[in-house]
């Protein structure tokens, strides 16, 4: 366990010695603190950053330092040396590319896009809180992209820390198969080290200082029974994943440590086991064994030996081996505006190599782009490089049209990889510039910020002329407005947050749209019949062309769809977007001379508006999944208050001295909930919420919303 003195400049590291990993967890589990310890022990930083002091390496934005939270994922590169003779990989130096992601649900896009390009992840858990809601969310995100993981149970020094309870929660709430590798010695204020179960070795940290020094001893006598019990379980778990080892095990022969570690590495990459380590990052204990595990058990780009995509020219599935000799393939996963360099496109290179000055092909946008410079990032510091290789994460300068989720490749060998999907915004604000000079700057700033963040949307309300910004939560929008002020020097005032309602239909209906204009010379003629029917909640919009016998010429059908889509942006009840419906174009008429795309687009729009009114339209509202942690004394008050907010109480759990209340609550009822909860519980309860789904608004409440919108149903 030693930090290597190799500098990042020396980048000719074989691909099997590279690890691309992310740190993911619930807010406040200690992700950034853990990352800071990793950077210190690997020699990347000469002093340990502290969130409370505001001098961390990875939280470099002013807003992050002030709030003590991570807002944007930060990338960095460091090195670690493996010295264990029983290691499943060759000893020596390894390069680790780390992305520290946010824990707050408002910045879920940062986690989603980071996981899409990582080969492995470290999930940090709080030993007292065990598995929290956001941990479940990021775990599911990692499952979606099949990312192998290890778990670091942090805060074993915290009052109420319960390591075995955390293991139980991992099985029950995450559905994972945890393989406990390091068991804590002591708990709460008595926590002083860990026992590495396979080796039966105790690592004891003497003080809370930098934690770089620890002693290696035999496992404490008092823990002998516990160590043997967990060690036997671990060996059995590993053997079950390997045919040869299970034969040995059943014959009563214990495999060697080297055999067990090699099998464990294969099991982790195949996502059969999740190694679990224990520590306390803030007290600098237990980080080094976890660092060893990152390098020893998480995959290199070579272990994920190929990536798949679609050839856009043939529609066939193609694969690329993750080696330098294959054609260039990469995925852009993040856009950032840098005050010194301009627009940075963070890119994961899957195959081939890339040089500064190369022209590459954006397959998603069907455009060529030129890479003027390439940078290796360390949070917000940068290092220029001339060439990048397969398996690397680099920032490209000079790409004008590339956005998050675009595939980049060579023009001769195009491939489209699966893009990244993001949730829809749930909350909106009206925003206006304070002065005339801010008007132009505000448009520029908002566009730059929406370029960076796919969950941040801007639109103009044509009736009022207001600019409406939408995002994942109040904190999300607050940070956006703050960044406009600091980075773009735009002063703006905002209205009260508005819930992002939607509309849908409940029954099948048919109708027509007819647009005829005669104004001397050539006229306009478009006429179509549309059937609409409801789709399941969250299924989205579908357009079906069922025209037979050329009732509408083929060239006008896309225009009808465009009209339908545009009309869906403003529903018929209160002007909110229409969602979850299937529109079928089944008949129409046209005029040889007067028909045009414009006429059919308007006809499509008119048809949708008239049919929606007949299809029993209803209003939908976002429902949040809320988890309140409260001392038992206040449980009744908290549940009573939630019930008054139209909450659906899902159940309660016990966690130490706290009761955890789970509920679905309409977002419209949660304005100012933090203040209300504090006053109900003398400031002792906390809550967490994340968007869950949309549900129909009760009729009496819908009437009030419709009246406020000023758009009564015709």
Annotated binding site: 25-32, 100-104, 154-157
Q: Residue 489 in contact with residue 441, Cβ under 8 Å?
A: yes
- Name the nearest CA neighbour of 317 among 416, 446, 384: 416
Q: CA-to-CA distance for 270 and 267, rounded, in angstroms?
A: 5
* Radius of gyration in angstroms for the set of CA atoms belonging to the chain, rounded to a whole number: 28
Q: By three-state DSSP, how is residue 216 classified? A: strand
Helical (H) or strand (E) element with 115: helix 108-117
Beta strands, E only, 170-252: 178-180, 182-185, 193-196, 201-205, 214-218
Helical (H) or strand (E) element with 114: helix 108-117
Helical (H) or strand (E) element with 250: helix 243-250
538: which 2 tokens?
Answer: 């969250």
Q: What are phi and psi of 694, to 5 degrees?
A: -110, 145
Query: Angle at Cα 454 formed by Cα 450 and Cα 455, nearest 5°?
Result: 100
Place of tokens 């940068």: 382
- Name the nearest CA neighbour of 337 among 214, 183, 212, 444: 444
| Signed CA dihedral, 712, 458, 142, 653: sign only | negative
Q: What are phi and psi of 466, to 5 degrees?
A: -75, 150
| Signed CA dihedral, 297, 300, 305, 309: sign only | positive
**What is the biggest distance separating any 2 CA atoms in the chain, rounded to whole angstroms?**
101
Place of tokens 């080297």: 258
CA distances from 250 to 33, 255, 317, 361, 544 (A): 43, 11, 43, 55, 60
Q: Which residues pair with 218 in a beta bridge?
A: 201
CA distances from 87 to 112, 199, 303, 563 (A): 32, 12, 16, 62
CB 699: neighbour CB atoms within 10 A?
Answer: 9
621: which 2 tokens?
Answer: 């509202």
Q: Is 458 exposed, middle or buried (0-12, 13-18, 19+ CB in 10 A)?
A: middle
> Using a CB cutoff of 8 Å and minimum separation of 24, what contacts does 88-93 make?
88/258, 88/261, 88/262, 88/264, 88/265, 88/296, 88/297, 89/16, 89/265, 89/295, 89/296, 92/17, 93/4, 93/6, 93/13, 93/17
Q: CA-to-CA distance for 593 and 302, rounded, in angstroms?
A: 62
Residues in the annotated binding site for GTP? 25-32, 100-104, 154-157
Q: Residue 630 in contact with residue 527, Cβ under 8 Å?
A: no
Q: CA-to-CA distance for 428 and 473, rounded, in angstroms?
A: 8
How many Å from the N-terminal Cα to the C-terminal Cα in the chain? 73
């Amino acid at each position: 366990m030693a930090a290597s003195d190799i500098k990042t400049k020396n980048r000719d590291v074989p691909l099997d010695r590279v690890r691309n990993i992310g740190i993911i967890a619930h807010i406040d589990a200690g992700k950034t603190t853990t990352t800071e310890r990793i950077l210190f022990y690997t020699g990347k930083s000469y002093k340990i950053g502290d969130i409370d002091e505001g001098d961390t390496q990875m939280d470099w934005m002013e807003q992050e330092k002030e709030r003590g939270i991570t807002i944007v994922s930060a990338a960095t590169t460091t090195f670690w040396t493996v010295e264990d003779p029983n290691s499943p990989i060759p000893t020596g130096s390894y390069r680790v590319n780390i992305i520290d992601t946010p824990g707050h649900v408002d910045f879920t896009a940062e986690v989603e896009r980071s996981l899409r390009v990582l080969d492995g992840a470290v999930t940090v858990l709080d030993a007292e809180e065990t598995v929290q809601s956001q941990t479940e969310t990021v775990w599911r995100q990692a499952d979606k992209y099949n990312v192998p993981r290890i778990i670091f149970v942090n805060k074993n020094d915290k009052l109420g820390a319960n390591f075995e309870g955390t293991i139980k929660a991992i099985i029950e709430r995450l559905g994972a198969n945890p393989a406990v590798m390091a068991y804590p010695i002591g708990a709460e204020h008595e926590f002083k080290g860990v026992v590495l179960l396979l080796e039966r070795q105790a690592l004891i940290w003497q003080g809370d200082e930098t934690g770089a020094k620890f002693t290696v001893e035999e496992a404490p006598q008092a823990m002998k029974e516990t160590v043997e019990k967990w060690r036997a379980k671990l060996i059995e778990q590993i053997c079950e994943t390997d045919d040869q080892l299970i034969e040995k095990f059943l014959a009563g022969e214990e495999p060697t440590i080297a055999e067990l570690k090699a099998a464990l590495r294969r099991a982790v990459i195949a996502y059969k086991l999740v190694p679990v380590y224990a520590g306390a990052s803030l007290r600098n204990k237990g980080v080094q064994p976890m660092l060893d595990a990152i390098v020893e058990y998480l995959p290199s780009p070579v272990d994920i030996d190929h990536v798949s995509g679609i050839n856009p020219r043939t529609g066939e599935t193609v694969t690329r081996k993750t080696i330098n000799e294959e054609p260039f393939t990469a995925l852009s996963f993040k856009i950032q505006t840098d005050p010194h360099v301009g627009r940075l496109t963070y890119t994961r290179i899957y195959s081939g190599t890339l040089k500064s000055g190369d022209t590459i092909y954006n397959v998603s946008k069907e455009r060529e782009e030129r890479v003027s410079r390439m940078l290796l990032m360390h949070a917000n510091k940068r290092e220029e490089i001339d060439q990048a290789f397969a398996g690397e994460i680099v920032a490209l300068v000079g790409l004008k049209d590339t956005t998050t989720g675009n595939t980049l490749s060579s023009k001769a060998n195009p491939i489209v990889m699966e893009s990244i999907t993001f949730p829809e915004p749930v909350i909106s604000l009206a925003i206006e510039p304070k002065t005339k000079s801010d008007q132009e700057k505000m448009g520029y700033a908002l566009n730059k910020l929406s370029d960076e963040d796919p969950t941040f949307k801007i639109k103009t309300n044509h009736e009022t002329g207001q600019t409406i910004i939408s995002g994942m939560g109040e904190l999300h929008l607050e940070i956006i407005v703050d960044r406009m002020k600091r980075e773009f020097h735009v002063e703006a005032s905002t209205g009260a947050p508005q819930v992002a309602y939607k509309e849908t239909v409940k029954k099948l209906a048919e109708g027509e749209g007819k647009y005829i204009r005669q104004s001397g010379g050539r006229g306009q003629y478009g006429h179509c019949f549309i059937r609409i029917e409801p789709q399941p909640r969250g299924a989205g919009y579908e357009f079906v062309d069922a025209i037979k016998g050329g009732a509408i010429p083929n060239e006008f059908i896309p225009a009808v769809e465009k009209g339908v889509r545009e009309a869906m942006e403003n529903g018929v009840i209160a002007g909110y977007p229409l969602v979850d419906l299937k529109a079928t174009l089944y008949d129409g008429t046209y005029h040889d001379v007067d028909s045009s795309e414009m006429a059919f687009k308007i006809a499509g729009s008119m048809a949708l508006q008239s049919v929606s009114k007949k299809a029993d339209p209803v209003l939908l509202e976002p429902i949040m999944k809320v988890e309140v942690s409260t001392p038992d004394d206040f449980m009744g008050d908290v549940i009573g208050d939630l019930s008054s907010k139209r909450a659906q109480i899902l159940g309660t759990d016990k966690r130490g001295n706290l009761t955890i209340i789970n509920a679905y609550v309409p977002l419209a009822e949660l304005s100012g909930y933090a203040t209300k909860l504090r006053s109900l519980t003398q400031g002792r309860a906390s809550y967490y919420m994340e968007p869950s789904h949309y549900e129909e608004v009760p009729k009496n409440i819908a009437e009030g919303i419709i009246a406020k919108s000023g758009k009564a149903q015709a």
